[in-house]
């Protein structure tokens, strides 16, 4: 699969899982994974999923505007850079966000998230 198609497939999987079953994201992180969420630094799969499931909204929908990827030069890793809109349940206007992932291949032929940095883009 070419890297752009792979990045798009990962992005679709990640955000549909986030929007429907945030606990399901635990499989995508490992103990060495790092998330920076709006400047807050969190390490380890269980801590990351605890953070994501504790966000103060029950339902949300990510719509993706752009996906860019490049090989990271690290163990066949891939850098994925996403921008889009986040709709929260009950809110009329969406929030703009940008997010980057550093994906590392697993022995099973899939990818896990080693680095994850998320920011809302305030007007």
Q: Which residues bind another protein (CB under 8 A)?
A: 32, 34, 36, 39, 41, 65-66, 68, 70, 72-75, 79, 81, 83, 96, 98, 100, 102, 114-115, 117, 119, 121-123
- C-beta closer to another protein: residue 24 or 87: 87
Q: How far is the CB of 58 from another protein (least distance, A)?
A: 26
For residue 60, give both structure tokens.
């949300």
Closest listed residue to residue 121, CA positions, set 35, 27, 22, 38: 38
Mapped onto helix, strand or coil, the DSSP state of residue 43 is strand
- C-beta closer to another protein: residue 54 or 66: 66
**DSSP character at residue 38:** T
- C-beta closer to another protein: residue 61 or 81: 81
DSSP run (H or E) holding 62: strand 60-71
């Amino acid at each position: 699969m070419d890297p752009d198609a792979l990045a798009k497939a990962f992005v679709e999987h990640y955000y549909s899982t986030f929007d429907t079953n945030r606990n399901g994201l635990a499989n995508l992180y490992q103990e060495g994974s790092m998330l920076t969420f709006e400047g807050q630094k969190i390490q380890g799969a269980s801590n990351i999923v605890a953070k994501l499931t504790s966000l103060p909204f029950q339902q949300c929908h990510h719509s993706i505007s752009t996906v860019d990827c490049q090989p990271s030069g690290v163990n066949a890793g891939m850098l994925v850079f996403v921008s889009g809109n986040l709709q929260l349940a009950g809110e009329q206007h969406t929030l703009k966000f940008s997010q980057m992932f550093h994906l590392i291949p697993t022995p099973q032929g899939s990818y896990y998230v080693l680095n994850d940095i998320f920011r809302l883009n305030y007007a």
